[in-house]
Every structure is written in C-alpha cells, then in structure tokens.
C-alpha cells in the first residue's frame, strides 16, 4: 500500500475540510458545521489511511462501507467525497442545501456518489450499519474471503446512541459477533439544547461491553492522526465482536469563540466567526479555500490506493462469485414466475401460510433471500423451510432471528438491501409496523429492495383486542411515497405479490391474514393493482375489496344477484400499482358512472379516491373471537348488501 500523505499534507487537508465545513453552511445560511469541524481529522484518517474505497468505482463490490449516522454533519462527508475525487466539485459544495444540488442537507443514497445510505433520523444509520455487516458476513461465508472481505464503518453521535433503535441494533450486533463492524462514537458531550449532562448519564463503554462489543476508549486523540489510525487499525484487526471506538472530540474546534459550545451545533457561524477560526488555522480568509496542489495530491494518493486494492482483489476473487456479486440483486422474473405455486379452488389457507409456501417454492429462483422475523417467524410466514438459521457460528444461514427488535430489524433490512447481494424479508404483526415506520419511510426514500411482511392484518386477529388489531395501518403505509403496498386476497394473489415485490425497485409491504381465506382468484389482480374477478352481464354497481374481505364482497354480490341486482366485484390488492394504469384502464375496471362500494376491515380514510361509499372500520376494535369482531363491526354480507342498495338508491 502506498505511503501516507506527509504531515504537512495531513494538516492542509484537515484545514481544508474545516474551512469547507464552515463556508458551506455560511453560504446556505443553514447547516451543522461544529461536528464536521471536530471530526475532520477522523474523516481524513478513515479515507486516506484506513478504508479501502475506490472513487473511480464507487460501487466496487468489495469496498468498505462508510455511514455517517449523525447525518446532520453531511458537509463532512461531502468534503471527503470532494477531496477524494468522487465527482463532487467546489460548485457542488457552494450549492450545499440548495434545490437540486448534489449536496443536500443530509446524505441521500443514489443522489451523491459515495453515499451508502440515507441518514439523518438519528440512530437509523447505526442500525443500517448492523444490517450491512450482516450482509457482508453472510456473503463472505458463501463466496469466500478472497471475494468478500470488507468492513462497515459508522460514525455515531450522542443523539444516535440516545435513540432507542441504537440499543436494539447494538444488542443484535453484539449477539451476532459482527467483527467487521466498527462504530466510532463522537463523544463531544453536546446536543442542541446544551451539554449532555442535561439529559444523559449513560456509561456508554459499559453499555456496549454488556452487549458483547469490543470497546476502545481512545480518549483525547481527536487531533492526532497517528493515534486515530492506531485505534482504527486495532478495531479493524479485532476478531469475534464488533468494535466501538470512543473518541473524545470538541465540537466547533478550533473556533476561539464556540469550541465546546452547543451553539456550534446547528447555528451557522457568522462571517466574523469563520474569519477568526481561519486565522487560528493559518489559512486564507477566503470562501472554499482548496489549493490545487492539496486537492491533486489527495486525489492522486486516493486513486493509487484504490488501484492497488482493486487490482489485488481482481487477481484473487473467484470469477463466478464476482459475477454473482456484481449482478447485484438482479432477478429473472420469468424464472420466479415459473416457480410460483398455483393454488386450486379448494385451497382454504391464511395468506400468511400461503406466503411461507411461496418462499419455499421460490428458494432456487430467488436464492439471495435472507428471511427473518421479530420473534414471530412461524406466525408471520417469513420463514424459509429447510434452511438453517443465520448466526455467528453459521453466517451462511438464511434465516435471521431478530428477536423482539422491530426497530432494529427494519433499519437492518434497509442496510442489507443497500449493501447489495441479498434481498431481506422481515416479518412481524401488522400492528407493529408502527415500530418500524421510520425505517420503512427511509427504505422508500432510499429505494431499498426490502420486503416487509405484516401478518394478522385486521380486527380478525380477535381475542388479543384493539392493542393488536390494526385499523389505521393500511392508510398509514399507503401514504408513504415509493412504498409498494400489497394486501393479497387469497393464496394466488399472495404468490403474485411476492413476484411483484422481488421485481420492484424499492420496498414492498405485503399485508397478510391470520385467518383462512378461500381461493377466489388466479392472482390476476396484483400486476395491474386491481381487476374484476366477479363479472355480471349488466352491472349497476361495483364492489371493491382487498384481502380477506374479498370473500365477503363476492358473497354479497351473489346475494344481490339473487335479488336481480347485478354488480361486479373488483379485487384491489394494491392502490399504488392501480394508480400507475392509464385513466382509461382505471375507468374500465372501476366505471365512474356507477356506484362503487369499498369493503376493507380498516379505516375508510383514502377510499374516496376510488369509491363512492365505503364499508370499513373507523374505530378501534375489540377483544372477542375474530369472526365475531368482524361481524359486530359491519364486515359482513348483510351490511355490504345494505350499503350497496343505499348507494343505488342515491
């Protein structure tokens, strides 16, 4: 590996990073410079001495992954991407936090080369890193260390570690002994409100040791590049556990006025404060100071290191494994479709049970699935039969046991998907989607191919009562842009939902029933989002249903037919897929000239976009047998018949 930059170049680079960390927020009149300033030496050492990364090939499959969990310090990462030659220019830095710039307020994956995950909501990036480390260890075991062998580095702050998700994720990582995961705790003892003494008395090193982590208390070395490197290399060489490096830093350093002050966190320095700090650093008092000789030397150094790493890897990596990894998560949709099970009309099965059969049937056509659940593996259908569990002693296993950690599971799945090489599937009860909502939202924002499996999808859960009976959750998930939401009505729609999920460029939520449902379709409604599955010769109304309520809708249509009232029944498993159709096609399925009655065991919120009248549940449920709760709350044939007649009368 090439020699390090000279001590003089080290100091010039750090000064350049700190200058940009002040200049960009000043230009934007918005941003967080204090943390970026104090972490400049750490970032410099990571990028120039420790991490294996390739600016000319940001998607190189064996690169180390870097995550800035405290994403408000984004200007730190942008400065490093600029210095290393990832394609950012000084003009991009000048456009920090501006419309359509490559340097948004928080790092966004897919928007800026070199950014691995979307961070900002504190703690999420840390849990993403755990997922990336899981994916790496699994792929390393499958393909061999000559092909897959890289670390995940994540910087976390006090805020990340206060958020509850960090406790779940750290506990899981320690249990799984993810020794290719290295977290650096920026221990600056400052939050927006003031000193951490206001809110927190945690012994962070003791906490992480209790989780089974290796902890390096590096102390006051934040300005010493050699000592930072020594600590990071010790972390990299640790075997058998993830490592937390506790690095004492001073927010806003070396500002004469705001070092160690909470005002340095989120208030852009004034021009006067920037000038006084640059004077201390000994650099010109000019905006975006970046001498060509400093930048060129840095980029040459970075490119040389990258070239040697990639050349060495190319000579050692298994060619077949390399091809598989570089193909990413590519799916042969025809092969998946051919492997899907087909359920005949006699099948009466809960869709959660059907989903498990679908996973088993497609294990060869979708071989890169890592399935798991939050202590509900058998209950949710998120189980790969005939496969072993993923663990520290068996990282090739394909079944991940997340424990009762929905927060961490959701965010880890996002990290796994963005790492590449695996498709994460994670299950829990639908009502607990609330625990995962921040991660689901970030999955959609990141276009991460995660498959969130939610079973026990309605008041049909029954005796567990309203705490466990989702009513508002479908509306809640449907409101998230970019999240594909599918609530299949029967086993065949469940099979097609899986095909739609693995073919989707982004996350999917599949909503499954606890109770058995009859097989009423061939799955034809999933691809377009909705289709007519019960057609009358001269319909005067349309009944629209999702999930387990399709059977109620069909029975209601038959009852109305007995009274010479002809209606069509539409199965509508996916609003978002339906809305991708042309208006003409939508109107063919749901003619706007006749009444349209929706039937769904959840809140009616949002149904006005498709239906003129709705049968739903705009209240919480109750504790009783599921079929009784459904009946008492109006999810029954007589009520659907009554509402349809009333709609026609109007």
**Catalytic positions, please?**
406
Cis peptide before 520 (omega within 30 of 0): no
Q: How many CA atoms lie within 13 A of 450 on its CB side?
A: 35
Which parts of 560-641 are beta strand (E)? 567-571, 596-599, 613-615
Q: How many CA atoms lie within 13 A of 461 on its CB side?
A: 25
**285-to-15, 44, 450 alpha-carbon distances in Å:** 12, 22, 47
Q: What is the distance between the alpha carbons of residues 562 and 550, in angstroms, rounded to a whole number?
A: 19
End-to-end CA, the chain: 79
Exposed e or buried b per residue across 264-285, where buried means at least 16 C-beta atoms within 10 angstroms of its C-beta: bbbbbbeeebbebbbeebebee
At residue 44's C-alpha, the angle toward residues 40 and 50, to 5°, is 140
**161-to-155, 166, 169 alpha-carbon distances in Å:** 11, 5, 10
Do 616 and 600 form a contact (C-beta atoms < 8 A)?
Answer: yes
Q: Which two tokens stand for residue 89?
A: 């220019």
Q: Which two tokens stand for residue 645?
A: 């007649």
Task: Name which of 597, 588, 547 is nearest 569 in CA terms.
Answer: 597
Do 576 and 626 form a contact (C-beta atoms < 8 A)?
Answer: no
Q: What is the distance between the alpha carbons of residues 170 and 161, in angstroms, rounded to a whole number?
A: 9
Cβ atoms within 10 Å of 478's Cβ, excluding its own: 16
Q: What is the distance between the alpha carbons of residues 451 and 417, in angstroms, rounded to a whole number?
A: 10
Cβ atoms within 10 Å of 593's Cβ, excluding its own: 5
């Amino acid at each position: 590996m090439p020699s390090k930059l000279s001590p003089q170049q080290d100091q010039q680079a750090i000064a350049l990073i700190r200058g940009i960390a002040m200049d960009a927020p000043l230009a934007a009149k918005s941003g967080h410079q204090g943390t970026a300033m104090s972490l400049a030496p750490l970032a410099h050492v990571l990028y120039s001495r420790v991490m294996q990364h390739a600016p000319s090939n940001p998607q190189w499959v064996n690169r180390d992954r870097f995550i800035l969990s405290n994403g408000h310090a984004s200007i730190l990462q942008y400065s490093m991407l600029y210095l290393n030659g990832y394609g950012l220019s000084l003009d991009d830095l000048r456009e920090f936090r501006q419309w359509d710039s490559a340097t948004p307020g928080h790092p966004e994956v897919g928007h800026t080369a070199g950014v691995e995950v979307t961070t900002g909501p504190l703690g999420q990036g840390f849990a993403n890193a755990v997922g990336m480390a899981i994916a790496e260890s699994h792929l390393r075991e499958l393909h061999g260390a000559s092909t897959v062998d890289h670390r995940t580095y994540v910087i976390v702050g006090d805020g990340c570690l206060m958020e509850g998700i960090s406790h779940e994720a750290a506990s899981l990582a320690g249990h799984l002994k993810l020794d290719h995961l290295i977290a650096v705790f920026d221990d600056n003892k400052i939050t927006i409100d003031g000193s951490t003494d206001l809110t927190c008395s945690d012994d962070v090193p003791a906490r992480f040791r209790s989780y089974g982590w290796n902890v390096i208390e590096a102390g006051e070395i934040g300005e010493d590049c050699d000592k930072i490197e020594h600590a990071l290399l010790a972390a990299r060489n640790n075997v058998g556990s993830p490592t937390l490096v506790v690095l004492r830093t001073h927010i806003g350093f070396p500002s004469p006025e705001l070092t160690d002050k909470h005002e340095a966190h989120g208030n852009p320095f004034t021009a006067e404060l920037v000038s006084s700090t640059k004077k201390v650093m000994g650099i010109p008092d000019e905006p975006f100071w970046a001498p060509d000789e400093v930048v060129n030397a840095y980029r040459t150094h970075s490119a040389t290191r990258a070239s040697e790493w990639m050349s060495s890897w190319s000579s050692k990596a298994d060619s077949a494994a390399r091809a598989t990894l570089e193909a990413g998560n590519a799916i042969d949709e025809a092969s998946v479709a051919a492997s899907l099970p087909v359920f005949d009309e006699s099948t009466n099965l809960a869709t959660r049970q059907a989903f498990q059969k679908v996973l088993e049937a497609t294990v060869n056509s979708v071989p890169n699935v890592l399935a798991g659940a939050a202590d509900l593996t058998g209950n949710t259908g998120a189980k790969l039969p005939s496969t072993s569990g993923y663990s520290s002693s068996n990282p090739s296993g394909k079944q991940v046991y997340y424990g009762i950690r929905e927060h961490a599971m959701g965010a880890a799945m996002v990290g796994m998907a963005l790492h590449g090489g695996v498709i994460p599937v994670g299950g829990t009860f639908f009502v607990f989607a609330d625990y995962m909502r921040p991660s689901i939202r970030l999955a959609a924002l990141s276009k991460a191919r995660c498959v969130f499996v939610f079973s026990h999808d309605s008041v049909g859960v029954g005796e567990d009562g309203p705490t466990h009976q989702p009513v508002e959750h479908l509306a809640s998930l449907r409101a998230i842009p970019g999240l594909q939401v599918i609530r299949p009505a029967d086993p065949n729609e469940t099979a097609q939902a899986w095909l739609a999920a693995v073919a989707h460029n982004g996350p999917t939520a599949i909503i499954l029933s606890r109770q058995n449902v009859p097989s009423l379709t061939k799955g034809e409604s999933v691809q377009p989002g909705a289709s007519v599955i019960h057609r009358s010769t001269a319909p005067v109304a349309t009944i629209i249903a999702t999930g387990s309520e399709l059977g109620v809708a069909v029975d209601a249509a038959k009852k109305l037919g007995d009274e010479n009232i002809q209606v069509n029944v539409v199965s509508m498993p996916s609003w978002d897929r339906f809305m991708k159709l042309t208006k003409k096609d939508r109107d063919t399925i749901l003619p706007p000239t006749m009444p349209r009655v929706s039937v769904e065991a959840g809140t009616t919120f949002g149904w006005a976009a498709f239906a003129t009248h709705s049968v739903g549940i705009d209240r919480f449920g109750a504790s009783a047998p599921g079929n009784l709760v459904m009946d008492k709350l109006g999810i029954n044939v007589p009520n659907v018949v009554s509402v349809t007649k009333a709609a026609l009368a109007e």
